[in-house]
A and B are shown apart, each in its own frame.
Chain A
Amino acid sequence: MELLDTLFPLGLGHYFTGGLLIGLGVSLLFVLTGLVGGMSSVYSAVWSYFSKVSFFQQEKHFQTRQWRLVYAAGLILGAFIWLVFSGFEVTVTSISWGELALGGFIAGFGARLGNGCTSGHGICGIASLSLPSVLAVLVFLSAAMITAQLIAAFG
Chain B
Amino acid sequence: MKTTLYWLAILGSGTLFGFGLSISTMIQPEIVLSFLRFEDFGLLLVLGGATGLTMLFYQMAPRILKKPLIAAQFGQKPVDTMKRTLLGALIFGIGWGICGVCPGPAIAGLGAGNWPLLIALFSMLAGAYVQGRWFSGN
Contact = CB atoms under 8 A, between A and B. Distances in A.
Interface string A93-126: 1110101111111111111111111111111111
Contacts of A75: 14-15, 17-18, 21, 104, 107-108, 111
Contact of B36 (A7, A44, A139, A149): A149
Given A22-B46, A74-B17, A123-B54, A109 B131 contact: yes
Contacts of A51: 129, 132-133
B39 A123 contact: no
A1 interface: no
Interface in B7-38: 7, 9-31, 33, 36-38
A100 B99 contact: yes
A18 B24 contact: yes
Contact residues of A: prevailing secondary structure: helix
B80 A115 contact: yes
Classify chain A's interface size.
35 or more
Interface residues of B, number: 117
B95 A33 contact: no
Given A83-B22, A118-B47, A28 B90 contact: no
Interface in A24-78: 24-40, 42-44, 46-47, 51, 53-56, 60, 67, 70-78
Contact residues of B: prevailing secondary structure: helix
Most chain B CB neighbours (cut-off 10 Å) among A25, A78, A142: A78
Contacts of A93: 28-30, 109, 114, 116-117
Given A67-B10, A104-B124, A140-B90, A76 B30 contact: no
A139 B29 CA distance: 20
A75 B102 CA distance: 13
Contacts of B54: 23, 26-27, 30, 123-124, 127
B14 A105 contact: no
